[in-house]
Amino acid sequence: MVLDDADLDTAVDVVTEGMFYNQGEACTSTARILVHRSLHDAFVERFAAKAVSLKVGDGLDLTTDIGAMVDRTQQQKVLAYLQTAIDEGATVVAQGEVPTDEHLKDGYWVAPTVLTGVTPDMTVAQEEIFGPIACVMVFDTDDEAVEIANGTAYGLTAAIVTSDHFRASRLATRLEAGMIFVNNYMRRSFLGSPFGGVKGSGFGRENSLDTLKEFVRAKNVRFPSGRSPIPTWPPVD
C-alpha cells in the first residue's frame, strides 16, 4: 500500500525490494501494489524506470539483480499469467531485457515487468504469480485499499508506505496478514519473531517461541463454581 502521504523514493525502494527479490519466486513477494490515485502516475514512472534498470542474468554473477526461473515449467507459468493479464485488460508499461549471450540465451528467463490498469478481479490480482510480474492497482481511500488488500485467499505479508506511523498502525490492525512491514520490506521477519500467515497462506508460526505452542497440548481442569479446593504443596492424597 503506497498511501497519499508516502515518500516516493521510499515507496519505490520498498516495492522493488519486495517484488523482485529472488526473481519474484518468493511467497512474500509484493506482487500486488496498491497506489493512491494522487501518486499513481509519479510512482509508476519511477518504479518502471527502476524495473528496466535491473540486470537479468547469471545468478552467480554478483552484478545480477534478476536470475532465471527455477525451471521451464515455472517460466511458462509466469509468462502465461502475463499474457492472461494483457488479455484481461492490463497494460505493460515497462519490461526489462533478458540475456542474449550465447551461453545464457537458453535460460528460463522472465523479464522484470510492470503492469498497470490491473483491477482486483483480474487473475493476476487473485492468484500467486511467483515471478517478476508487478501488478499496480489504484485506490482512492484507505477503506478501499484495505478492501482490495483483504480481497484474496492469501494473507502472508503486507507493507504500508506512509509518513504517518499512527495511520499505518490503524491500517495494520485491519489487514488480514501474518506479517506487516511499514516503510520497509525485509522479506522475512526478524529472527525470533513469528513468520506465518492467515487464510490460504497457512496457519501456525515459524522461527519463534510461538512455534513451540504447536507441540504443546494444553489441559484445562475446571471445578464447580465456588467449590475449588485450596491447593496445597506438596499434594496430599
Mean pLDDT of 66-72: 96
pLDDT of residue 194: 84
Please give the Cα distance from 2 to 9 (Å, whole number). 11
| pLDDT confidence bin for 175, thresholds 50/70/90 | very high
pLDDT tens-digit profile of 80-89?
999 999 999 9
Residue 202: pLDDT band by 50, 70, 90 thresholds?
Answer: confident
Neighbouring-strand partners of residue 179:
157
Average pLDDT rounded to a whole number, residues 203-224: 82
Q: How confident is the model at residue 221 (pLDDT cuts 50, 70, 90)?
A: confident
Query: What are the distances in angstroms from CA 40 to CA 8, 47, 128, 176?
Result: 10, 10, 23, 24
> What is the reported pLDDT for 112?
98
Q: Cα-flanking dihedrals φ and ψ of residue 157, to 5°?
A: -130, 160
pLDDT digits (tens, 9 = 90+) for 3-25: 999 999 999 999 999 999 999 99
Query: Binning pLDDT at 50, 70 and 90, where does residue 232 land?
Result: low
Confidence band for 237, pLDDT divided at 50, 70 and 90: low
Domain 8-215 CATH class label: alpha beta
pLDDT at residue 229 is higher than 70:
no
- The confidence score (pLDDT) of residue 233 equals 62
The amino acid at residue 222 is R
**Within the chain, where are the H helices?**
8-20, 37-53, 72-87, 123-126, 142-150, 165-174
Mean pLDDT, all residues of the chain = 92
DSSP result, 168-194: HHHHHHHS--SEEEES---SSPPTTS-
Q: And the C-alpha cell for 174?
A: 485491519
Closest CA to 161 of 148, 180, 138, 187: 180
Q: How confident is the model over 90-130, as pLDDT tens digits?
A: 999 999 999 999 889 889 999 999 999 999 999 999 999 99
Q: Angle at the Cα of 122 (from 119 to 126), degrees rounded to 5? A: 105
Report the predicted TM-score, pTM, of the whole model to 2 decimal places.
Answer: 0.87
C-alpha 114/C-alpha 174 separation (Å) is: 27
Is residue 222's pLDDT more than 70? yes
Over range 51-75, report the average pLDDT.
Answer: 96
Residue 189 has pLDDT above 60, yes or no: no
pLDDT of 148 higher than 90: yes
